[in-house]
């Protein structure tokens, strides 16, 4: 929908989902788990918001998982909106920004995005003026530290110096539905980078230390039912749960045995148990191609 701004600049202003009316109007429909915005504090457009039958547990919708995708043929060309020229980046990564996030909901649900895909307010997506389409970004609520990973598939916002327009679900998970907008940090991600972006994740240093152990011979008499593959170790439960959701989304049925395990003041994301070391090693090798890193053999 945002691409039409090039030809219909004034008419498509409201398509950004960040129009100034949100600053004073109250929502026509309120999600039962979302506090109604206080008058004057912000909010979404009248008539916008969730539909009459939102998903039962929006917080359980997994974040987007960065994967390699070819860039859209047309959505990454320079364009003009509101007399300002925008030049989209030619590749993801190496981009950080702090600014105001807004969101758009059912008023635009089902309409075409700049990528040509239909906007799904319950998917983990977002619109950005210059990030590549498609690409992925971690968005962090500066006030709370909560963060989500979204897929950039649309253009906007173009009003009031706002930096990014989030889907309803992404905004809900960040806790900004009631205010309508919130200061956030945006970090562009590349495929395979999400375990090590700015987070409480402790997996990266721990992984390198444990890799030597994992490659060394393990006892042949390892007890059955106590052999796992560790995908990550985290300082906080919230970070571990977020990573667990990402792994489930990426692995699909292969991740049905993923679970959390707390040990040594860290929450670990593991898959298993395996009946033997041979099975665990075989699974580890097959998972390496899907994950972009080698899981660690773990026995407990």
Average pLDDT, stretch 176-193?
A: 86
Q: 149 or 253: which carries more pLDDT confidence?
A: 149
What is the structure's pLDDT at 134? Answer: 95
Beta strand segments in the chain, E: 79-81, 84-86, 96-104, 125-127, 135-141, 147-154, 162-167, 181-189, 227-234, 258-263, 266-274, 296-299
Quick one: 261 exposed, middle or buried, by C-beta within 10 A (0-12, 13-18, 19+)? middle
Alpha-carbon gap, residue 150 to 188, rounded angstroms:
10
Rounded Cα distance between 180 and 178, Å, is 6
Written as six digits, the tokens of 155 are 């253009």
Average pLDDT over all residues of the chain: 74
Cβ(292)–Cβ(251) under 8 Å? no
What's the rounded Cα separation, in Å, for the pair 133 and 80? 16
Higher pLDDT, 87 or 66: 87
When pLDDT is cut at 50, 70 and 90, the band that residue 54 belongs to is confident
pLDDT at 47: 64
Give the confidence band of 24 by pLDDT, cuts at 50, 70, 90: very low
Question: In the predicted model, is pLDDT for residue 197 greater than 80?
Answer: no
> Among the ranges 47-61, 140-154, 285-299, which has the highest mean pLDDT value?
140-154
Architecture (CATH level 2) of domain 2-189: Beta Barrel (2.40)
Q: State the Cα–Cα distance between residues 40 and 180, nearest whole angstrom.
A: 11
CATH class held by domain 199-299: alpha beta
Tell me the C-alpha distance between 219 and 300, whole Å: 13
| pLDDT for 166 | 95
Average pLDDT over residues 133-156: 93
Bridge partners, residue 96, by sequence: 187
Query: What does the H/E/C string look like for 229-264?
Result: EEEEEECCHHHHHHHHHHHHHHHHHHHCCEEEEEEC
Instruction: Please state the rounded mean pLDDT for residues 54-68.
Output: 82
3-class state of residue 21 by DSSP: helix
Confidence (pTM): 0.57
What is the model's pLDDT at position 273? 87
Q: Which residue has the higher pLDDT, 238 or 112?
A: 112
Q: What Rg do the C-alpha atoms of the chain give, in angstroms?
A: 21
Residue of 65, 31, 71, 34 lying closest to 50 (CA atoms): 31
User: Domain residues of the chain, as ranges?
Assistant: 2-189, 199-299
Residue 225 has pLDDT above 70, yes or no: no
* Model confidence at 88: pLDDT above 60: yes
């Amino acid at each position: 929908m945002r691409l039409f701004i090039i030809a219909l600049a004034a008419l498509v202003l409201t398509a950004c989902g960040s129009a100034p009316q949100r600053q004073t109007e109250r929502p026509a429909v309120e999600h039962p788990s979302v506090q109604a915005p206080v008058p004057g504090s912000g909010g979404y457009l009248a008539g916008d918001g969730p539909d009459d039958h939102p998903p039962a547990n929006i917080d359980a919708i997994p974040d987007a998982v960065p994967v390699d995708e070819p860039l859209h043929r047309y959505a990454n060309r320079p364009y003009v909106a509101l007399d300002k020229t925008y030049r989209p980046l030619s590749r993801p990564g190496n981009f950080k920004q702090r600014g105001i996030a807004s969101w758009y909901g059912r008023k635009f649900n089902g309409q075409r995005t700049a990528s040509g895909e239909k906007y799904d307010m319950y998917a983990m997506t977002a619109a950005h003026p210059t990030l590549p389409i498609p690409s992925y970004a971690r968005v962090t609520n500066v006030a709370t530290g909560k963060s989500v990973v979204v897929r950039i598939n649309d253009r906007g916002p173009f009003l009031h110096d706002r930096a990014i327009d989030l889907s309803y679900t992404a905004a809900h998970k960040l806790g900004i539905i009631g205010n309508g907008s919130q200061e956030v940090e945006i970090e562009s991600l590349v495929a395979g980078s999400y375990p090590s972006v700015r987070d409480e994740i402790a997996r990266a240093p721990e992984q390198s230390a444990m890799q030597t152990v994992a490659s060394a011979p393990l006892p042949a008499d390892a007890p059955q039912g106590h052999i796992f593959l560790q995908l990550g170790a985290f300082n906080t439960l919230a970070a571990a749960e977020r990573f667990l959701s990402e792994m489930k989304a990426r692995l699909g049925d292969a991740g049905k045995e993923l679970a959390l395990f707390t040990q040594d003041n860290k929450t670990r994301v593991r898959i298993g148990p395996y009946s033997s070391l041979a099975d665990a090693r075989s699974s580890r090798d097959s998972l390496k191609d899907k994950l972009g890193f080698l899981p660690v053999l773990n026995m407990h």
